[in-house]
Amino acid sequence: MAETFLRRRAPELFGVATLVASVLVFEALVRGGVVNRYIIPPPSDILLAFERVIVEEHILTRCRDTAIEMIIAGGASVLVGVPIGALLYRSSLWRRAMEDWIGALAAAPIVLAFPLFLVLFGRSPKTIIVMGFVHGLAPIILKTVEGLASTRPVLINVGRSLKMTPSQMFWKILFPSALPVIFTGIRLSWTFVLITIVGVEYLINLGGLGQLINELAERYDLPGTYAGICFVVMVSVLFFVALERVEAWLQPGR
Amino acid sequence: MAAAGKISVASRDVLALRLLVALVIFGAWEAMSRSGLFYGEVVPSLLKIGASLIKLLLDPIFYRNLQVTALETMLALAIGAGAGITTGIVLGANRFLMRAFEPYVYYLSPTPRIILFPVMIMWFGVGPASKIALGALSAFFAIALSTAAGMRQIDPILIRVGRSFRANIWQMAMKIYLPAMRVPILNGLRLGMGTAIITVLLGETKLSNQGLGYLIMQIYTRFDMPGLYALLITIFVIAGAVNALIGHFARD
């Protein structure tokens, strides 16, 4: 049984083994003086720094700060983006006129405008939240339109044959059918929101996890900086995996 | 004929609506600017932004900084594309390696790359090299994933033809894989270019003495709001144009 598992999972185990081997090689290279420890600290020091970063740098409070910004910005993106998408779906003229513009908004380097937002909203969490919200809006609008437009005609015909009102049609037929695609938009949007929030926190040295990395780097606490970066990367990956799981749960057929 | 007329009427309506929306936005902006509700120049008049735009586009300092950012972005994209396409081909061609390593590339791709900037500064210094490295790293993920997905979509018949001609790895890559993956690679380059531009510029805003990101911070420090709007509009237009240009090649 164990042999079957090993054979079935050989590629994944090889990936993990390569990762562990790379860490050990780095440890040896740094300890052997081949790699300067003031540029790359030994991985064991980074591992030990985790406890210090978690306890002394109040990482839970910082996670909470980032999470609050994330919930407000991400929630606002959904609350504003889904109704705009639904309104655009109702008018093909508005949809055709605005879809390209919203697509351009999604691709625009909005995060670069952080000095502008700093002037408009001050050096406060408001700036971070508004930037996250603006960055997260476009994918939700586009995916809401796409989801509603891809409702199967047979479902719409069933609604019509039951003489549903437009409101009933939306809440009983269109919205439930579009929900999986809308959630794909939410996943994309919240990924953008997280990247923007942590990025702006780092750039303006304010808030939660992004600020932590900036502070550790400015103190030249090398193992702490590396540990902080690893922590933020782990949080991002876990967040992304969780969103993917929910998306898969909503789309069991895919 | 009638259908063509209908389409052109619909296109005219779309254009008219866009113009109307643009006019409403510009009108609302101008009204806000003149209302006196906002402090100082936070919402400057469109005329002032236009004048700053012309001044910016006639200023040699803008072009000097644009040159620096363009060079950094191009080098970042070249390095990121080289590493990304190679990694993508390897992961796409070999199922074992794909299962071993692609999850790492996939799950690391949506992380906020700018937080790696302190590490890049330690490794490559405060000069352009750290921005190039960060840009290359950002571009790498999008290009590698797009190339790997493209590899898996290649018609197996093409691969069998290559093998039946006993093509070596280099010949397979140059004659079969790369031509068959033109569209996914160009799409990857488009995404990679977008992220490379953003990260290079963000790196410049954080720590630099040249480049458009540095210019943004200079203008921000002077509180020259019309200038800041003008520069951001110019950067957005350049980024959009580059994106559209690569997208055009990907479609053709």
pLDDT per position as a tens digit, B53-95: 999 999 999 999 999 999 999 999 999 999 999 999 899 888 8
Residue that is written with structure tokens 């003495």 in the block: B209
Indicate whether B134 belongs to any domain: yes
- Residue B142 forms part of a structural domain: yes
**Contact yes or no for B110 and A240 at CB 8 A:** yes
Q: Which residues of chain B have pLDDT under 50?
A: 1
| Distance of residue B100 Cα from the nearest chain A Cα, in angstroms | 4
User: Do the Cβ atoms of A11 and B97 come closer than 8 Å?
Assistant: yes
Test A109 with B98 for CB contact under 8 angstroms. no
User: Quick one: B189 and B70 in the same domain?
Assistant: yes
Give chain B positions within 8 Å (CB) of A225.
118-119
pLDDT for A43 equals 92
Cβ contact, residue pair B116, A111, below 8 Å: no
Domain count, chain A: 1
By the 8 A CB rule, do B89 and B98 touch? no
Same domain? For B139 and B19 the reply is no
Do B33 and B57 reside in the same domain of the chain? no
Chain A residues whose CB is inside 8 A of the B110 CB are 191, 195, 236, 240
Residues 6-25 on B with a CB inside 8 Å of A are 10, 13-14, 17-18, 21
Whether B19 and B134 map to the same domain: the answer is no
Instruction: Quote the pLDDT of residue B38.
Output: 75
A22 contact residues in B (CB cutoff 8 A): none
Q: Is residue A4 part of a domain?
A: no
The answer on B113 and B7 residing in a single domain is no
Interface subset of A 74-93, CB within 8 angstroms of B: 93
- DSSP codes, chain A: -HHHHHHHTHHHHHHHHHHHHHHHHHHHHHHTTSS-TTTS--HHHHHHHHHHHHHHTTHHHHHHHHHHHHHHHHHHHHHHHHHHHHHHHH-HHHHHHHHHHHHHHHHS-GGGGHHHHHHHH-SSHHHHHHHHHHHHHHHHHHHHHHHHHTS-HHHHHHHHHTT--HHHIIIIIIHHHHHHHHHHHHHHHHHHHHHHHHHHHHHHT-SSHHHHHHHHHHTT-HHHHHHHHHHHHHHHHHHHHHHHHHHHHH-TT-
Asked if the structure places residue B221 within a domain, the reply is: yes
Q: What is the pLDDT of residue A120?
A: 86
Residue A193 belongs to domain spanning: 52-250
pLDDT value of residue A5: 76
Domain count, chain B: 2
A123 to chain B, closest Cα gap in Å: 13
**CB pairs A-B closer than 8 Å:** 133
**C-alpha distance from B165 to closest chain A C-alpha (Å):** 30
Same domain, B112 and B220: yes
Enclosing domain of residue B67: 53-86+108-148+182-251
Contacts of A86 (CB under 8 A, 6+ apart): A144, A148, A170, A175
In a domain, residue A188? The reply is yes
Statement to judge: residues B142 and B218 lie in one domain: yes
Does A156 map to a domain?
yes
Q: Is B97 in CB contact (< 8 Å) with chain A?
A: yes
Nearest residue to A174 (alpha-carbon basis) of A80, A75, A85, A74: A85
CA neighbours closer than 13 Å in the CB half-sphere of residue B120: 25
pTM of structure: 0.86
A53 burial type by CB count under 10 A (0-12 exposed, 13-18 middle, 19+ buried):
buried
Question: Nearest CB to A198: which of B100, B115, B123?
Answer: B115
Instruction: Decide: A56 and A115 in contact? Cβ < 8 Å.
Output: no
Prediction ipTM score? 0.85
Sites in chain A below the pLDDT cut of 70 = 1-2, 252-254
Q: What is the pLDDT of residue B9?
A: 57
In a domain, A11, yes or no: no
